[in-house]
Structure 1
């Protein structure tokens, strides 16, 4: 019995500690990493509330109160990303509208299942394609597929931060830029949708909070991306592997600064990483949009051998968006 009591308190204290750590305003990886498993910590807290019934009566109230508080806090962070919350973006009907499909995928540089990705591209036939972690091997393997796109921007690297962008849409500009000092690219493009409206497309892949990396550069890159198009009257669509969960404070700041809408809010968490684990999965491959772009669908694609699931979005851009550019 003593062992059980000790074990319950150790687990309970650990849950409280990692919850408190997630409140600390720090860029250290071992602090910020606890923003990721909020759903897992919530479920663990709820489980420990019931497990606390096994404690002696004089310890039960204090233990269960701590677990209830942690569950309420974690639940408050996760709740907006459940179907029970009010949706950030209304899903519209595609009937009679000019839509376009966007596909973003972190391919995993070491992944040699190139055929799975080329099959997905052939099947989904995206108008906009953003691929991350692309090295020269991937560039060569995708050469036939990419040849079908009139605009291709390549930033091929062997450091897990390569990027390839391709589109069949009319392009006003498309280039990779650097928003931080960590040598990770950001893709910025001006595109014309099938209906005639123009919009900005931004592709992001900042560094993750892992040993050896703080989140300072990642957070700065995400913040700067949010303000890239602040003074433009064009709508914006952003996709990529943010290496940041949808409910983090930096993601919330991003939404606020850029006035972005998140399709996950009110729709579902839609975890995208790690594709190799059924339990430890987090929503870090993001898609945001602004007013002037209607959402038709946002979904997770099939596994392609990467540790990330591909993400696909179908949108419709307002026909009046950026008409001045077409002249």
Structure 2
């Protein structure tokens, strides 16, 4: 039992150190990787705490375990759960919502949006099109499309009057379909010359113009030894672009980042955008193939001009990502009811450092 208690303490120490490493701005994939499994780490910590209590009780039957062990385990569990809860609690239903529900529904001011990373190697074209057709979005942001995907989903593309296409064979292709007129658009390569984003303006039936941003920054990952510099810089650049932008705006895509990470929170503070999941749930969109290791990577953030009519994670489409469906309503008169995250004194300096660091590597 002593060995079991020792192993428990060691594992809790590893979780505590790994979780607290994310406080730093270090972009290494190993450190940034600890941002993702907060929910899983909470569950593991609780299980380890229970194992320790059982082991300690059994040890007491033959020997007195030194009180310092209990203090150490208690401290580690408190630190881990406190830090992880700070990140994930805002996304639980016990917390207040950030995006208010729409009051009087007005279809002329409605924008129904689907964000879907199709996974370039995926060949479940019919299943994907059936799922998207049933969701019936006004605008669809489709990620990881190559020429093969463009051809395969042509029947769906024909149902939309407008599109912006940038197919690529490097997992960063992008397609935006819209029923609404596209007044202006630009395909931008903000940080990496092979990672596009779409910056467009669409017009709702009400006449309101909405800036639509589609993004898919490069992730930190061990396989290609990628750090988070490019991702952090792209998100921060768009956060700074949207700072002071006083018109309706929506940004959506696979951000390759979780909602509670320091980079995403910095983006939200700079841009004053709102997260409709706050107070409603995690809506974990990745990994669709592993129920035990899922995170919210596919995001839709919006300006204070919008309220929420519906949010839903759609079904399996053969991809490692579930599509996300959001139905927003443009209600500028209710801006004052919705509070963005409060900006910190150090945000602008941190943003400049992240942008400079990312651009230097590109």
TM over 0.5: yes
Give the C-alpha shift of residue 230 in structure 1.
3.5
Match of residue 67 from structure 1: 77
CA separation of 1:20 and 1:300: change in aligned 2, threshold 3 A: same
Could you list the runs of 5+ residues in structure 1 that have no partner in the other structure? 321-327
Tell whether the 8 Å contact from 1:38 to 1:74 is kept in structure 2 after alignment.
Answer: yes
| TM-score, normalisation: structure 1 | 0.93
Q: Does the C-alpha gap of structure 1 residues 182 and 61 become closer, same or farther in structure 2, counting only changes over 3 Å?
A: farther
Aligned 8 A contact 1:186 1:203 in 2: yes
State the Cα distance separating 1:164 from its structure 2 match. Answer: 0.7
Question: 2: distance between equivalents of 1:230 and 1:60?
Answer: 48
1:240 aligns with 2:250: no
Give yes or no for contact 1:52–1:64 (8 Å, CA) kept in 2: no
Match of 1:324 in 2: none
Counterpart in the other structure of 1:156: 167
CA contact (8 A) 1:182 1:217 kept: no
SS in 2 for 1:228: helix
Matched, 1:206 2:225: no
Residues 199, 317 of structure 1: 8 Å contact kept = no
- Cα offset for 1:292? 1.3
Decide which moves more: 196-205 or 225-234: 225-234
- The residue correspondences of 1:238-317 to structure 2 (distance < 5 A) are 238-317=251-330
Aligned-pair CA distance for 1:299: 1.2
What TM-score, normalized by structure 2, do the two folds share? 0.85
Residue in 2 that maps onto 1:91: 101
After superposition, the Cα gap between the structure-2 partners of 1:231 and 1:62, relative to the gap in structure 1 and judged at 3 Å, is closer
Change (3 A) 1:296 1:12: same
Alignment of 1:89-128 (within 5 A): 89-93=99-103, 95-98=105-108, 99-128=110-139
Given the superposition, is the C-alpha separation of residues 232 and 10 from structure 1 closer, same or farther in structure 2, using an over 3 Å criterion?
Answer: closer
Which residue of structure 2 aligns with residue 175 of structure 1?
A: 186
2:193 aligned with 1:186, yes or no?
no
Q: 1:94 & 1:191 partners in 2: Cα distance?
A: 23
- How far apart, CA to CA, are the structure 2 residues paired with 1:23 and 1:69? 13
SS in 2 for 1:100: strand
User: In proportion to residue count, which structure has more helix?
Assistant: 2
Aligned to 1:137: 148
Kept after mapping to 1: 8 A contact 2:273/2:301 = yes
2:31 maps to 1:21: no
1:227: Cα distance to partner?
2.6
Residue by residue over 1:125-154, the C-alpha shift from the partner in whole angstroms, topping out at 9 and shown as x without a partner, is 211111000011101001121122221111
Q: Residue 243 of structure 2 corresponds to which residue in structure 1?
A: 230
